[in-house]
């Protein structure tokens, strides 16, 4: 007899994980993507995927938010965010959720941030603050690629922000002569944020991916963005 069907729902405290398997599609894919139990869920043949990557739904009923994410991504604890997942093969590709403190924020709507453009500037400033470096010869280049608002099917307004940040470092920061200090690109990343407000708190879903991977991963990442929802928490 075969194994009994797996219950697609798992619950730990106020968190519910739901495992979903979408229908097969054909698109460019990473090689040898593994799900958390070590079985292959995504492979590539001659540049084409034989099956769509399985996805999971993460529901936090305690803090009040949910989103979909690739099932093979792994959760990393102690990363400083409310929740943090990353691709086990492309370590620069990850997602996290940040929530404002309930004691210091009284948001009524995402429009409290101003327009989407104003929110985009705040998001970029926050990223640059987090990436500040004390190393000599390090500089960052950044730009806001897009800002927008959307009314989701839950009736709530969300802002979406996309930015690009590049980091350069001198190959010999202690050199006396300027010609001996050559700036080299350390990393080039795209950051995608979705902002929503509920329970008087600001929620931000953050996605990070190397710019070189964005074109290949764009559809998958946008599905994650589109799935983000904030939910009312019972008092």
Domains and CATH numbers, the chain: 9-230 (3.40.1000.10)
State residue 78's pLDDT score. Answer: 81
> Which range has the worst mean pLDDT, 24-28, 163-167, 188-192?
24-28
> Which range has the worst mean pLDDT, 50-59, 61-70, 105-114, 193-202?
50-59
Which comes out higher in pLDDT, residue 15 or 2? 15
Model's pTM, two decimal places? Answer: 0.76
> Which range has the worst mean pLDDT, 17-26, 121-130, 212-221?
17-26
State residue 41's pLDDT score. Answer: 32
> Which range has the worst mean pLDDT, 66-70, 132-136, 199-203, 206-210?
132-136
SS3 54: coil
Cα 88 to Cα 71, 80, 205: the distances in Å are: 11, 19, 19
Binned at pLDDT 50, 70 and 90, residue 170 comes out as confident
Binned at pLDDT 50, 70 and 90, residue 26 comes out as very low
Provide mean pLDDT across the span 159-164: 98
Q: How far apart are CA 16 and CA 86, in angstroms?
A: 18
Q: Is the pLDDT of residue 25 over 80?
A: no
State residue 181's pLDDT score. Answer: 65
Residue 159 gets which letter from DSSP?
A: E
SS3 226: helix
State residue 132's pLDDT score. Answer: 86
State residue 95's pLDDT score. Answer: 97
* pLDDT, the chain, mean: 81
Task: Count CA atoms closer than 13 A to 46's CA, side-chain side.
Answer: 1
Provide mean pLDDT across the span 123-130: 96
Strand segments, DSSP code E, in 176-226 are: 183-198, 201-210
State residue 177's pLDDT score. Answer: 62
Tens-digit pLDDT profile for residues 67-103: 999 999 999 998 889 999 999 999 899 999 999 998 8
Q: Is the pLDDT of residue 109 over 90?
A: yes
């Amino acid at each position: 007899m075969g194994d009994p069907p797996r219950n697609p729902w798992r619950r730990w405290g106020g968190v519910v994980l739901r495992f979903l398997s979408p229908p097969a599609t054909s698109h460019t894919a990473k090689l040898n993507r593994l799900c958390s139990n070590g079985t292959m869920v995504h492979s590539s043949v001659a540049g084409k995927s034989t099956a769509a990557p399985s996805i999971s739904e993460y529901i936090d009923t305690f803090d009040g938010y949910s989103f979909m994410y690739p099932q093979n991504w792994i959760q990393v604890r102690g990363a400083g965010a409310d929740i943090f997942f990353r691709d086990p093969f492309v370590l620069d590709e990850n997602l996290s959720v940040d929530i404002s403190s309930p004691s210091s924020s009284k948001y009524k709507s995402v429009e409290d941030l101003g327009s989407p453009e104003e929110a985009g500037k705040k998001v970029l400033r926050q990223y640059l603050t987090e990436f500040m470096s004390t190393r000599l010869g390090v500089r960052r280049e950044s730009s806001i690629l897009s800002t927008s608002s959307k009314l989701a099917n839950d009736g709530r307004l969300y802002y979406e922000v996309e930015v690009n940040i590049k980091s350069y470092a001198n190959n010999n920061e202690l050199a006396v002569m300027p010609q001996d200090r050559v700036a080299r690109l350390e990393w080039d990343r795209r950051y995608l944020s979705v902002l929503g407000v509920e329970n008087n708190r600001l929620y931000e879903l953050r996605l990070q991916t190397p710019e070189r991977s964005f074109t290949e991963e764009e559809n998958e990442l946008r599905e994650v963005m589109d799935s983000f929802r904030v939910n009312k928490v019972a008092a």
